[in-house]
Amino acid sequence: MSKSVSVLTPGETVACCSPLVSSPLPQETAEQIAPLLKALADPVRLRLLSLVAAHADGEACVCDLNDAFDLSQPTISHHLKVLHESGLLERSKRGVWVFYRVQRAALADLAALIGGGL
Amino acid sequence: MSKSVSVLTPGETVACCSPLVSSPLPQETAEQIAPLLKALADPVRLRLLSLVAAHADGEACVCDLNDAFDLSQPTISHHLKVLHESGLLERSKRGVWVFYRVQRAALADLAALIGGGL
DNA sequence: TCAAGACATCGACAACCTTCTATGTCTTAG
DNA sequence: CTAAGACATAGAAGGTTGTCGATGTCTTGA
């Protein structure tokens, strides 16, 4: 599918193209990062994450989160599961309640990757 | 769907919940940001963006990008369209070729939002 | 022991996404 | 003018996602 370019001298490279200056994301890396972004790429999950982050001690219980949306409890539970399995939310059960806490490091890594020209 | 909480004094708030300490993302904001993240949340598009960013003068032509993937030309064209319409890639046509350039500001904004606790 | 409540899982359905092939639109070279 | 090449659009197939109601699993209080 890709045209061989190895026999061309620099001056002969196709007219439209400029050379690479830094190395692009390897496919493997891209496939690791995409699921993280996918987990983040939903308005409900963005608000969930932000709601958890906004809580006093950095964690919020599900009962609290459920009431913040006009969505069924299973739907919220599903979104929390997605965020948890992607590594963006940490989970801990205390008594009858389940608490979620933001994994700041994961968010920071993502931000660094996006902010730093990829 | 949400229980009213306005009549409770601080001491009466339900046992499981801690108060908010900073304000969570408004729904409207979340719905503006999610599409941006969605555009980013695909391995092919991540690599496309990174490929463009990695080019010498900050832009790359489609012919160049096509050859970097084992995907059909229309598929690449589609992904570029998604990135362009979301505001992450700028487009310019010169002669027969079309060049794409990364919109650094959009990426920086996203990174700031994600990195700064949302 | 039993009932109630908090949360998760299941199965279904509609909407959407990725990819393809086929085809269209421009632009340039001859 | 015509042919070739670069890129976009259209339409379809198959997989994935968001949401729901129904139901299951734990934990606690009575």
pLDDT digits (tens), chain B, 118 positions:
333 333 333 334 456 788 889 889 999 999 999 999 999 999 999 999 999 999 998 999 999 999 999 999 999 999 999 999 999 999 999 999 999 999 999 999 999 999 998 8
| Domains and their CATH numbers in chain B | 26-115 (1.10.10.10)
Bases along strand C below 7 A from a protein CB: 5-11, 17-23, 26-28
Residues of A in contact with B17 (CB under 8 A): 60-61, 63-64
| Residue of chain B with shortest Cα separation from A104 | B117
Report pLDDT for A7: 33
- Please give the Cα distance from B97 to B92 (Å, whole number): 9
Strand C contacted by A101 CB (< 7 A)? no
Report pLDDT for A12: 40
Contact B76, B42 (CB under 8 A): no
Contact A17, B52 (CB under 8 A): no
Measured over the CA atoms of residue B6, residue B10, residue B13 and residue B16, the dihedral's sign is positive
Whether residue B117 and residue A53 make contact (CB cut-off 8 A), yes or no, is yes
Report pLDDT for A17: 80
B85–chain A Cβ distance below 8 A for any pair = no
pLDDT digits (tens, 9 = 90+) for A10-28: 334 456 788 999 899 999 9
| Residue of chain A with shortest Cα separation from B1 | A70
Q: Which of B56, B54, B63, B53 is nearest to B89 (CA)?
A: B53
- Please give the Cα distance from B35 to B19 (Å, whole number): 30
- Sequence-separated (6 or more) residues with CB below 8 Å from residue A5: A13, A14
Strand D contacted by B32 CB (< 7 A)? no
pLDDT digits (tens, 9 = 90+) for A50-87: 999 999 989 999 999 999 999 999 999 999 999 999 99
A vs B: CB pairs below 8 A: 176
Which region holds residue A59: left if phi is over 0, alpha if psi is between -120 and 50, else beta?
beta
Contact A83, A45 (CB under 8 A): yes
Six token digits for residue B106: 């959009």
A107–chain B Cβ distance below 8 A for any pair = yes
d(CA B28, nearest CA chain A) in Å: 9
Residue A98 pLDDT exceeds 80: yes
Whether residue B53 and residue A16 make contact (CB cut-off 8 A), yes or no, is no
Buried b (16+ CB within 10 A) or exposed e, B40-72: bbbbbbbbbbbbbbbbeebbbbbbbbbbbbeee
Phi, psi of A89 (to 5 degrees): -125, 135
Strands (DSSP E) found in B1-102? 59-61, 89-94, 97-102
ipTM: 0.90
Q: Which of B77, B117, B29, A72 is nearest to A80 (CA)?
A: A72
Q: Which of A100, A15, A10, A16 is nearest to A54 (CA)?
A: A100
